[in-house]
Structure 1
Amino acid sequence: MNNYLFSISIVMLCNIFLPAKSQHIKPDNQHNIQFNNKYYRLDSLYSELYKYDEFNGNVLIAEHGKIIFNKQYGIANKSDLSPLTGQSSFYLASVTKQFTAYAMLLLEKMHLLSFNDELSKFLPELGFYKGVTINQLIHHTSGIPDYVGLFDKDWPNGKTVSNTDVIKRLAKMKPQALFAPNEKWQYSNTGYLLLAAIVEKVSGQSFSQFLAEHIFTPLKMDQTGVLSPYTDNSAHPAIAWPFLEDASDRDYVKKFDSIYGPGRIYSTVNDLFLWDRALNNPGWISPAEKKLLYTNWQLNGGKSTNYGYGWFLEKDSTYGQIVYHGGSWPGYLTLLERHLRDDKTIIILQNDAKGTGKRRLPKQETQKILYDLPLESTVRLPDSTLQKYTGTYISEKGKTSEIVLLHRSIWIQFSPTTRFELMPATETKFIVNGFYPEVSYNFILADDGSVEKCRILQPEEGVDRITVKKKP
C-alpha cells in the first residue's frame, strides 16, 4: 500500500552471508528473446543494482507484444536461499487497484450497478458519507479518510484486521470526511476496500472468487490470486518472501494481512504480461471501455486528477501516453507500466529478500533504455571512502545522530532497526533516499581529508543546518 511510509521529521534527520550472486541471476524463456543492445543494457542495469544489494526481484520488458527481456535477480526466501524463478509470486500491493477497478467495470457492463450509484446504496451503514459515488471511490475523490488510524488504539495485539472490521469501525466511529465528494483528489486505500465490499454485495461472490472467475481464469493467469499468507498459514511455495528485519514491519503486515481491494493480489511477471496483452485485445475490452479506463477524471472545478480506473495517467513528450501503477508494502516494491503509443510494457516486481532496505525502482533508467537514450552515470564509492563518513554527529543544539556503514551504503540511523540510506551524488554530497523535497548531506573535509562537519540542506523547507563530527 502506497501510504505505508515511515513518518519522520527533518529534526530527526539532523539528529549476511550469501552464496555467490551469479547463481541467483536467472533468465526466463530466453529462447524467444533476441540478445540485442537493449537486452544487454537492461541486464547491465539490473545486474549492477543486484550487485550493490539494491534490487532483488523479477523483470519483464516487452515491445509490441513481444517479450524482449525476462529475468530474475536474487532469492525468493532468505531462510533457505531458494532462488527466484519465473513462477515466483509477488505481493502486488497497490498494483491490485487496477483489477479492483476493472471488476467495477465488469459489474457495470453486467448492468448490476452504475458508476454513479452512491455508496449508501450498497453499504447503508455508511450513509453518513452523503453523495459519495462509485466513481469517486475509484478515482480517489471520495474524501473518506484512511482506515489504518482507526486501529491505532483498543485493537488486540496480534489480531488481524478484516474488511468487515474496517466497515464496522467506520460505521461506529463515523470519522469525518476530509473534504466534500469530488472537491479534491487524495489517494485512498479505504475507497478501494469499499469497492471490494461492493463487488461482493452485488455479485454474491467473494472478491477472490469474482476476480478468479471473470479475470484470472479466462486469461489463464494461473499463478495469480487473492492471498493472505500470514493469516491462513498455508505453505504457498511459489511466493517470493520479503525479509522483514523491523518488528514493527512484521506486526503491521500481520495486522493488515487480510485487507483486500486496495491490495492483496499476488502474481508473477508472466501473468501480468497476459493481463497487459488482454488490455490490447478488442475481444477482451472494447475500444469504448478502454477509453473509459484511461479517461482523466476531473474534479468539480474541472481540474484533472491524472488518474483513471485504477491507473495513473501521464503524457510525456518523449514516451507519449503512459498508464501505470506502482505498489509499496513492507518488503515489496512493484510496477506495471504501459506505453500506449509505442506498445511498450515494463513489469518490475521486487521482494527485499535480504532485508537490506536498499530497494530501487529503476523506472527512468528502464524507460531510457527502451527508447535508446543514454543513462546518467551512477556514483559508486568504495567502502574505504564511505567509512570515513561514519560516526557520531552533534548539532548546534547538542543533539546527536549516527551515520553507519551497512550493505555498501551509509545510513542515517534512528534506532537499531530504523534507518535511511544516504545515496552518493558526488564523493562528498549524499541524498537521503525516499525524501521529497530532496534532503542532502554535504560533508566538509579537513585539509588532511578527514571529515569535520556535515551540512544538511532542504532548501524548499528552509533547512540549512551544520552538524560537527565527534572526534574518536
Structure 2
Amino acid sequence: MRFILPLLLVLTFVSCKETKQTNNASSKLDEFLTGQEKYFRFNGNILIADKGQTIFQKSYGFADYNTKRLLNDSSVFELASVSKQFTATGILLLVDKGKLKLTDSLRQFFPELPYHNITIWNMLTHTSGLPDYMGIMMEKWDHNKIAFNKDMINFLATENLPALFAPGTKWEYSNTAYVILASIIEKVTRETFADYMAKNIFKPLQMTRTRVYNTRRSLKDTIPNYAYGFFYHDSLNKYMIPDEEPQMNFVIYLDGLQGDGIINSTTSDLLKWDRSIKNHTLLKEATQQEMVKGQALMDTATKKYYGFGVGIGKNDFGNIISHSGGWPGYVTYLARNTHTDQTFIVLSNNMSNSSTIALTLQNIVAGKEVVMPYEHKAIKLDSIALKTFPGKYKTATADILVELKDGKLFRTGGGSSIELIPESASKFFYGDGSDRQFEFELDENKKIKKAWVISAGIKTVIEKL
C-alpha cells in the first residue's frame, strides 16, 4: 500500500501538468485564431487532435455572410482538393479487391481518349501528363451547360488535346486525372461515384455528415448546416458568393464534375477519416502504406513527394502527410504529423490561407513562440530612412527582392509587387491585407544587423545578400 500512494501522487501530478499545458495551448490557439478573425478576416472551422483525441475545436465567423448564420462544429464545407485522397482510396479499394491494377491503362477504360501509356499509378501520382480540362473548358465549353464527368471525357476526346509530357517523366498537378479516376470507379463498379463513396467509405467510417455534393447548382440540392463559400470583393467592400462574380462563373458550368474535388465534410468527420488512414481501417495495411509513401517527387527544394492523393514531406516537427484544397469560396487543409500523431484540420469558407494558419497552430501546440495578430498602423518614413532596406534577401527556400519606388518600399517577385508599409522605423507590414511583416534590427549607423520575415506569427531569420 505504501507504494501505491506515491504512484498515485505522481500520476496525479503528471495529469495536472498535462492539463495545464493543454489549457495553456488552447488559450494561445484561441488568441491567435481570434486575432486572425479580427484583423485578417479568417473565417472557418478548426480541429486539432493528439493521437486521435480532440484537444481543440472551434468555429470562427459565418456559415452564410448574407444571413449572418454562424458556423458551428457540424458545419459542412466543400473540401476542394482535399477530396483527392478519398478518390484515391476509392481506387485502392478496388485494387485490394482485385478489380483493378495500378498498372492498368487509361485506354482500357476510355479508348476514345488519345493518351497512350498512362496508367492508374500515373494518374494517382500526378505524373500522367494529361492536359488541364479547366483552362480549355473555360475557353471552349458552352457556359450555359453544366458539365459532368462524361462531358469532360467526351470534350477531351473531341478536342484531341496533346499530352503535356510523356507519362512518368515529370510531376505536374492534374485535376483531369482525378476526374478520370472517379469515372473509372463508376465504370468498374457500375455505381455512381457518390453511391460508391457513401457505401464503401463514408458509411463504414460513420462519417455521417460527409457526401459527394456538387448539386447545389446542377440539381438544386441542399445540405443542412452548409458553410457557403464566399470571397471578398474589394471594390464593393463586401463578401459575395462566387456565383455572383462573372470571372468565377466556372463554379456553375463545371459544377457537375467529380473526383478532383467536391467531397463535402466537417472537421469531426475528417478526424474519423484521418484515423482510418492511420489505422488502415479500410485498406490492406500494405496498400495503405503505399498510399502515404512518397511515390513521385513534387519539389526538389523542399523535398516534398506525392503519394496517392496526399503530399508527403517534412517540417520542423517531423514527417507530415497533408493536402490542401482551393476552390472559389473555400481553402482547406488536412495534415497529420506522423512523429507526434497530431492532426491539424483548417476549413475556411472565405478563402483564408488555411495551410499557413495550420503551420502556426503546429508551432503553438509545440510550445514555440508565435507573434500574435495585432492591428497594423502606418507611419511616415522619409526616403532617406527607407534607403536602408532595398536589396536581395535569402530564405531557406526562396530569394526575396525589396525595392524602393517613388518613395515607397515594395516586395517584388513572381510577377507581383506588394507595398511594404512602415509601422515603425524598422518594421513593415504587407499592404495586401495578409498577416506578413518584415522586421529589421539596425546598428548605431542605421545599417541592417539582422532581418526577419514574419508570416502568420512565424518569425524566420533572413539574410541580406
- TM above 0.5: yes
1:75 aligns with 2:62: yes
Distance in 2 (CA, whole Å) between partners of 1:137 and 1:202 is: 16
Secondary structure of 1:346's counterpart equals: strand
Output the amino acid matched with 1:71: K
Q: Residue 173 of structure 1: CA displacement?
A: 1.1
Distance in 1 (CA, whole Å) between partners of 2:225 and 2:282 is: 28
Structure 2 residue corresponding to 1:320, chosen from 318, 321, 325: 318
Alignment deviations for residues 240-269 of structure 1 (CA, whole Å, 9 cap, x no partner): 002343613541211211111000111000
Structure 2 residue corresponding to 1:254, chosen from 252, 269, 275: 252
Secondary structure of 1:306's counterpart equals: strand
Q: Residue 33 of structure 1: CA displacement?
A: 12
Secondary structure of 1:336's counterpart equals: strand
More moved, 102-111 vs 147-156: 147-156
Output the amino acid matched with 2:30: D
Match of 2:191 in 1: 205
Q: Residue 369 of structure 1: CA displacement?
A: 1.1
Equivalent pairs counted in the alignment come to: 373
Q: Residue 434 of structure 1: CA displacement?
A: 11
Output the amino acid matched with 1:310: G
Output the amino acid matched with 2:288: K
- TM superposition score normalised by structure 2: 0.73
| Contact 2:34–2:60 under 8 Å retained in 1 | yes
Match of 2:142 in 1: 156
Alignment deviations for residues 38-84 of structure 1 (CA, whole Å, 9 cap, x no partner): 11111111110011242111000000111000100011011211111
Distance in 2 (CA, whole Å) between partners of 1:135 and 1:267 is: 26
Unaligned runs of 5+ in 2: 1-18, 232-239, 381-404, 406-415, 439-465
Distance in 1 (CA, whole Å) between partners of 2:313 and 2:373 is: 26
- Following superposition of structure 1 onto structure 2, how do residues 35-184 of structure 1 map, counting pairs within 5 Å? 36-126=23-113, 128-184=114-170
Distance in 2 (CA, whole Å) between partners of 1:377 and 1:423 is: 19
- TM superposition score normalised by structure 1: 0.72
Q: Residue 370 of structure 1: CA displacement?
A: 1.9
Match of 1:194 in 2: 180
Report the CA distance shift for 1:424/1:41 in structure 2 as closer, same or farther (over 3 A).
farther
Match of 2:339 in 1: 341
Secondary structure of 2:305's counterpart equals: coil
Q: Residue 289 of structure 1: CA displacement?
A: 2.2
Output the amino acid matched with 1:294: V
| Contact 2:96–2:284 under 8 Å retained in 1 | no
Q: Residue 425 of structure 1: CA displacement?
A: 7.8
Distance in 1 (CA, whole Å) between partners of 2:319 and 2:352 is: 30
Match of 1:268 in 2: 266
| Contact 2:58–2:73 under 8 Å retained in 1 | yes
Report the CA distance shift for 1:422/1:370 in structure 2 as closer, same or farther (over 3 A).
farther
Distance in 2 (CA, whole Å) between partners of 1:130 and 1:345 is: 39
Q: Residue 199 of structure 1: CA displacement?
A: 0.5
Distance in 2 (CA, whole Å) between partners of 1:91 and 1:176 is: 31
Secondary structure of 1:152's counterpart equals: helix
Identity percentage over the alignment?
35
Output the amino acid matched with 1:60: L
| Contact 1:379–1:426 under 8 Å retained in 2 | no
Unaligned runs of 5+ in 1: 1-31, 387-400, 402-418, 441-472
| Contact 2:124–2:309 under 8 Å retained in 1 | yes
More moved, 152-161 vs 201-210: 152-161
| Contact 2:96–2:283 under 8 Å retained in 1 | no
1:367 aligns with 2:362: yes
Match of 2:213 in 1: 227
